């Protein structure tokens, strides 16, 4: 007999409490770590995206390989900057949503 695990549905109050607890734990770890984690995600995205594009693009002449390498090296700092800005934006959004001095209005 196969038993299936039934996922529990949380109420809105339980979901808010879980999200707040997760935010408090994230805040204890620090802003720098949060932002670095976003940058790491974009780096991993770059590391998986570029080989996938080469594989899908097929074989190309030798001269275009250098142009692709240069384009990749230009794209890497742009993606890292995007990861930094996204991490910073998400951090400030979470600070607004869960202020340190009071609970959110819906709790």
pLDDT (tens digit per residue) in 26-75: 889 999 999 999 999 999 988 888 878 777 776 666 657 777 788 888 98
Which tokens sit at 10? 């949380």
Q: Residue 43: phi, psi to the nearest 5?
A: -65, -45
Domain presence at residue 38: yes
Residue 50 lies in a domain: yes
pLDDT for 4 equals: 47
Q: Cα–Cα distance between 16 and 106 in angstroms, integer? A: 9
58: left (phi over 0), alpha (psi -120 to 50) or beta: left
Query: What's the pTM value of the predicted model, to 2 decimals?
Result: 0.70
Q: What is the mean pLDDT of the chain?
A: 81
Over range 73-78, report the average pLDDT: 91
pLDDT, tens digit (0-9, with 9 covering 90-100), for 5-29: 556 788 888 888 888 888 888 889 9
Which residues span the domain enclosing 42?
A: 12-97
Say how far apart CA 28 and CA 22 lie, in whole Å: 10
| Domain count within the chain | 1
Whether 88 maps to a domain, the answer reads yes
Could you tell me if residue 7 is inside a domain?
Answer: no
Query: How many Cα atoms within 13 Å fall on the side-chain side of residue 21?
Result: 6
């Amino acid at each position: 007999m196969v038993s299936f695990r039934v996922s529990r549905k949380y109420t809105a109050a339980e979901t808010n409490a879980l999200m707040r607890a997760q935010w408090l734990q994230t805040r204890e770890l620090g802003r720098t770590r949060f932002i670095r984690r976003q940058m790491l995600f974009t780096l991993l995205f770059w590391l998986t995206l570029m080989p996938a594009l080469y594989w899908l693009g097929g074989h190309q002449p030798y001269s275009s390989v250098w142009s692709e390498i240069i384009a990749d090296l230009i794209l890497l700092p742009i993606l890292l900057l995007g990861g930094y800005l996204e991490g910073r934006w998400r951090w400030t959004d979470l600070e607004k949503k869960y202020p340190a001095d009071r609970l959110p209005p819906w709790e």
